[in-house]
Amino acid sequence: MTIFKAFCAAIAAATLTLSGSATFADDLLASRLGAILGQERQALAVVPDTRMTMLTSLPPASERGVATQSGVVYDRAYLASLPVVDGDDEWACLAEALYFEARGETVRGMFAVGEVILNRVDSSAYPNTLCAVINQGTGRKYACQFTYTCDGLAETIGEPRSWERVGKVAQLLMEGTPRALTGGATHYHTKAVNPSWAQRFPRTAAIGSHYFYRQPIRTASK
């Protein structure tokens, strides 16, 4: 008799006694279950430790189809553990964009905004450098791609700790952190607005205060 069948039999036997004393039924059920658990412990005792570990451990994430992030942890404690970064002009452009566009977001939200910028760099529809993508349209008030570059306000870094944090995110993204958060998004907007293109582009993610979208790829018609 399997352990499952023995368990069912114990339940059935205890149920049949309910017409009698409730205490007797409880004692009988406890006795039967105790015996079954004792048999289970004896059976498990003879299973080798290596076999037990294999049976109770999950397979590696790669075998389960779970995406990993190459060691990147999306929290502030992880970023705080990394050394302060001071990079080149491209790094400065990306860090500045993250500062003005996403410094109030979670770390995941910062990475998500950074993904959009890097996805644009990789797209033939946009310039091929970080600074060029970020400053596209700058000079025409509210006609740029990233509002902070054309809103008429000075780009003043007033929060040193936030700047240090976004600088680390920028460096990690430039070093090749997998872009697995936004599904290849090329656009985003805050949840407080509803731009016209959001009705045409497929939404790929919602992270923090932003929605993310992927611009459809145009194919040449015959």
What is the pLDDT at residue 138? 80
189 bridge partner residues: 211
* Lowest-confidence region among 46-55, 76-85, 109-118, 163-172: 46-55
The answer to whether residue 45 scores a pLDDT higher than 80 is no
* φ, ψ dihedrals at 82, nearest 5°: -90, 155
Distance (Å, whole) CA 168 – CA 46: 51
- Give the global pTM: 0.67
What is the pLDDT at residue 6? 54
Q: Are 97 and 167 in contact (CB under 8 A)?
A: no
Distance (Å, whole) CA 178 – CA 115: 9
- pLDDT bin (cut points 50, 70, 90) of residue 55 is very low
Mean pLDDT of 33-47: 66
What is the pLDDT at residue 66? 39
Task: Indicate the helix (H) or strand (E) that contains 206.
Answer: strand 203-207
Question: pLDDT tens across 72-89, in order?
Answer: 789 999 999 999 999 999
- pLDDT bin (cut points 50, 70, 90) of residue 4 is low
Place of tokens 């060691």: 71
- Tell me the pairing of strands 210-213 and 203-207: antiparallel
Q: In what order do the strands lie in the sheet with 210-213?
A: 187-190, 210-213, 203-207
Distance (Å, whole) CA 96 – CA 94: 5
